[in-house]
Amino acid sequence: MTIKKKIAKWSIQTAIKEQNLQGYYDKIKEIVPDLSNQYTRENVDYDSFIELKIRAQHSFQCKMMFDAIKLITRTTKQNSGTVVDIGDSSGNHMIYLRNLLKDEYKIQTLSVNLDPIAVEKIKNKGLPALLVRAEELTLDNTDIIMYTSFEMLEHLHNPALFLRRLAVKGEGEYILITVPYVKHSRIGLHSLRNKNRDNSTYAETEHIFELSPNDWNLLFLHSGWEVVFKEIYLQYPKKLLIKNIMSNIWKQKDFEGFYGVLLKKNLSESNKYMDWEEL
């Protein structure tokens, strides 16, 4: 392992402990020991560092899922229903959810992806999955507790229209979203920016918009959703003197962390905009 990787590994391990994610990290490692099939087309050499990085990210997402389910069920007095994961690439999050909550809630899951390879992979794990673009998703389920979408919005050409359509036509009242955390909004398209685009580029590997939390929040409100609670997971320790150095290191090669937010449907501001595209 290179020195850079050793530093990055220490950074994540320290961040996990500092941000109280170690318990989730240990639990989900027992549930899904092997994360090598997390992505379908991502060109990554899977090793112990990549496993650590992915699992730490999953720990943050699982904590948010658990907190969201507890809040929603307490608010709605509903302890059963379906969680729909939009953009699910492996089924792992839904496996976590089923295992972590099986003693308290009666949760069904449904995974959605536009990639037939991902959908087949999820079905092979015994989970229900739909082959459909996120922007074209239509579900008649009336028992949807919440939607989830982990690192999916940044891959869409029109995230506002996707969210508006889900708010108007979707049955679920809540959606839990995580996206890469950046302080300043920008266009992604890194394969073009870095001039290394292959002959074939897929949605899973290409970011379109990378927005700051404040800009995402504006887009959410414009599209029919209000923030219930939000959190930021950083891939480095926040309390140490070297946090500024680690922040710059992560920004150069990856992301500082991830922004997570639970949203509740609220069309009051969105409906004031008169020129939405036909849904």
224 secondary structure, DSSP code: T
- E strands within the chain? 80-86, 106-113, 129-131, 144-150, 174-181, 186-187, 209-210, 225-234, 257-265
For position 2, what pLDDT does the model report? 82
* Structural domain contains residue 136: yes
Whole-angstrom distance, CA of residue 233 vs CA of residue 60 = 7
* Structural domain contains residue 277: no
Residue 102 has pLDDT above 90, yes or no: no
Task: Count CB neighbours of 117 within 10 A.
Answer: 12
**Average pLDDT value for residue range 93-99:** 95
For position 44, what pLDDT does the model report? 64
* Structural domain contains residue 279: no
- The model's confidence at residue 41, banded by pLDDT at 50, 70 and 90, is low
* Structural domain contains residue 214: yes
* Structural domain contains residue 52: yes
pLDDT tens-digit readout, 156-182: 999 999 999 999 999 899 999 999 999
46 within 8 A of 55, measured Cβ to Cβ: no
Ramachandran bin of 174, using left for φ above 0, alpha for ψ from -120 to 50, beta for the remaining angles: beta
Domain that holds residue 236: 3-272
**Average pLDDT value for residue range 189-199:** 78
| CA angle, 56 then 231 then 71, to 5° | 100
pTM metric for this prediction: 0.93
Whole-angstrom distance, CA of residue 166 vs CA of residue 176 = 13
Residue 43 has pLDDT above 80, yes or no: no
Tell me the three state secondary structure of residue 235.
coil
What is the number of structural domains in the chain?
A: 1
* Structural domain contains residue 264: yes
Alpha carbon of 255 to those of 70, 149, 214, 249: distances in Å? 29, 18, 17, 9
Residue 33 has pLDDT above 70, yes or no: yes
Scored b (16 or more CB within 10 A) or e, 135-174 reads bebebeeeebbbbbbbbbbbbbeebbebbbbbbeebebbb
pLDDT tens-digit readout, 142-158: 789 999 999 999 999 99
**Average pLDDT value for residue range 230-248:** 90
Backbone angles phi, psi at 176, to 5 degrees: -105, 125
Q: Quick one: what percent of the chain has pLDDT higher than 90? A: 71
* Structural domain contains residue 278: no
Candidates 171, 112, 174; CA nearest to 140 is 171
Q: Quick one: what percent of the chain has pLDDT higher than 70? A: 98
Q: What is the CATH number of the domain that holds 9?
A: 3.40.50.150
For position 269, what pLDDT does the model report? 98
**Average pLDDT value for residue range 263-276:** 97
* Structural domain contains residue 124: yes
Choice between 113 and 103, residue whose per-residue pLDDT is larger: 113
